[in-house]
Structure 1
Amino acid sequence: MILLQKNPSGKTYNDLIDLCFDICDQFHLCLRKDMSSLKSFDKFLNKINPVLVTMKEESEWASTILDEGQTAKVYYYYTKDENVKRIIKETVNNLYGWEMPNHPEDLSFFKHGEIWLATSSHERECYILPNKKELSKVMGINGIDATVEEDE
């Protein structure tokens, strides 16, 4: 497991997003109903809607478990779209920029239904679960500041 020590920004963020879109088949973004008017996100959501898989009301997602009775709208998208990748890279310039109230939050990626990269933007935390080949690709991104924890 890789634990990011510093928020990837600028070119490092762009390179990480490129790698996530290459390796993973889906990503998600969350809208917390308790944090903002969700209508303000309609324009952004419409831009990436062509690759929407589903939206679920959930109390748990890749990086977060809400208190009992609370839910958020969790939007799942396919990654195989260059336009959507460009939008993800241009909307914010750092990984933890995916935070409400300005943007949907907790951008996370999935490979074959399993978490590959999980972000908790407001906690400034991110972990990545790569295989050995992917580990060297992540750590090879210029500017990545991370520690690698061995699997037990």
Structure 2
Amino acid sequence: MIIIEENPKGETYEKLIDLAFELCDEFHLVVRRDLGSTRQLEPILKELESSLKEMVVTNEWTGTLLGGGQKARVYYYSADEHARKIVKERADSLYEWMQPNLPEDLSFLKKGKPWLVNIAHEEESYIMSESEYWIKRIRDIEGLKIAFEEDEI
């Protein structure tokens, strides 16, 4: 596991997003009613609508498990060029993907498995990759502060 130690911002954020869109086939965004009004999230959800694969009401998504019977709407999107443009334009850092301004926890999946996991409120994110090629590409992102941690079994 590759831990992202500092919020990727600006050009570093853009390069990380470009890499995620290059490698992954989908991403998700989360909308939680327990965090207040979701009205201001409607414009971005509408913008991304053509890339929407499905929306699921659940208490669990990449990196998060809600307790107390709480549920959220998890929107799964195709990692296509249309969505890439919007994700890069709407935020300037990974941890901006947080309500009330944006949907929560922008995270990327490759063939249904987590690749970039983002828990914005906790300012926690990590990348699940064992491929030497992709690890080198991650290391090549200027300004990205990372550390390596062995997966616990």
Give the TM-score range, shorter chain. over 0.9
Counterpart for residue 9 of structure 2: 9
Shift in Å at residue 2 of structure 1?
A: 0.4
* Distance in structure 2 (CA, Å) of the matches to 1:63 and 1:91: 22
* Distance in structure 2 (CA, Å) of the matches to 1:83 and 1:25: 13
Counterpart for residue 98 of structure 1: 97
Counterpart for residue 111 of structure 2: 112
Unpaired stretches in structure 1, ≥5 consecutive residues: none
What SS does the corresponding residue of 2:34 show, helix, strand or coil?
coil
What SS does the corresponding residue of 1:12 show, helix, strand or coil?
helix
Counterpart for residue 77 of structure 2: 77
Shift in Å at residue 151 of structure 1?
A: 4.2
CA contact (8 A) 2:51 2:82 kept: no
TM-score, structure 1 normalization: 0.96
* Distance in structure 2 (CA, Å) of the matches to 1:11 and 1:94: 9
Percent identity for Structure 1 against Structure 2: 42
* Distance in structure 1 (CA, Å) of the matches to 2:31 and 2:60: 12
Counterpart for residue 86 of structure 2: 87
Shift in Å at residue 40 of structure 1?
A: 2.1
* Distance in structure 1 (CA, Å) of the matches to 2:101 and 2:40: 9
Shift in Å at residue 84 of structure 1?
A: 1.5
What SS does the corresponding residue of 1:34 show, helix, strand or coil?
helix
* Distance in structure 2 (CA, Å) of the matches to 1:132 and 1:33: 40
1:43 aligns with 2:43: yes
Task: Identify the range of structure 1 (5-14 vs 28-37) with the bigger mean alpha-carbon deviation.
Answer: 28-37
Shift in Å at residue 36 of structure 1?
A: 2.0
The structure 1 segments of at least 4 consecutive aligned residues displaced by more than 4 Å after TM superposition are none
* Distance in structure 1 (CA, Å) of the matches to 2:120 and 2:72: 15
* Equivalent residue runs for 1:19-58 within 5 Å: 19-58=19-58
Shift in Å at residue 150 of structure 1?
A: 3.3
What SS does the corresponding residue of 1:14 show, helix, strand or coil?
helix
Counterpart for residue 146 of structure 1: 146
Unpaired stretches in structure 2, ≥5 consecutive residues: none
Shift in Å at residue 42 of structure 1?
A: 1.3
* Distance in structure 2 (CA, Å) of the matches to 1:59 and 1:151: 24
Counterpart for residue 125 of structure 1: 124
- Give the aligned length: 151
